[in-house]
Structure 1
């Protein structure tokens, strides 16, 4: 059984990033949720293309993975307001780079459950 797509994924992304439910935002959030879901599913594929979802512990399947899809979606959401990968904050006015890899926070969390690279 693959990682399920939640029907309210777009609404969950909006709540996660603290955005409004404007029609444009809702559509964008739904798109980012589907993109994030695809990225996490791709991360869960073994080298031979088999899906590793069923081999993960149950608590990872039910609790961790849905949260990680939201985390990846939030990174993709950030890119909307970060042209050229740069975000500015009002407080100090310093330029902060948005993560170029949306899986940057997900990989370390899921790494213990994924097969190793070289033998």
Structure 2
């Protein structure tokens, strides 16, 4: 997977390519740091990176961590502060729980 895959996944315009590439690079770094030396299937790494990249991309449209969606009641939704929130369930079974 590449930044182009993230761009398709989030529905970003061509004008956002630089921002998408930045989100992809940061997502890859965060996932790699979390995984460390653990053996994780490549497909799981790719999916986790895509999820983290999506979280990072959508933060731009969520000022102060709040996203507003067109709904009948106008309810605001808080965006996760940790961009890894979507990746943890995918990766934890391979990385372990961190108990000493």
How high is the TM-score relative to the length of structure 2? 0.90
Q: Distance in 2 between matches of 1:102 and 1:117?
A: 19
More relative contact order, 1 or 2 (CA 8 Å, 6+ apart): 2
Larger radius of gyration between Structure 1 and Structure 2: 1
After TM superposition, the runs of 4+ consecutive aligned structure 1 residues lying more than 2 A away are none
Segment of structure 1 superposing worse, 33-42 or 84-93: 84-93
Q: Distance in 1 between matches of 2:14 and 2:79?
A: 23
Alignment gaps of 5+ in structure 1: 1-5, 46-50
How high is the TM-score relative to the length of structure 1? 0.77
The question of whether the paired residues in 1 share the 8 Å contact of 2:24 and 2:49 is answered with: yes
Alignment gaps of 5+ in structure 2: none
Alignment length, in residue pairs? 99
- RMSD over equivalenced CA pairs, Å: 1.4
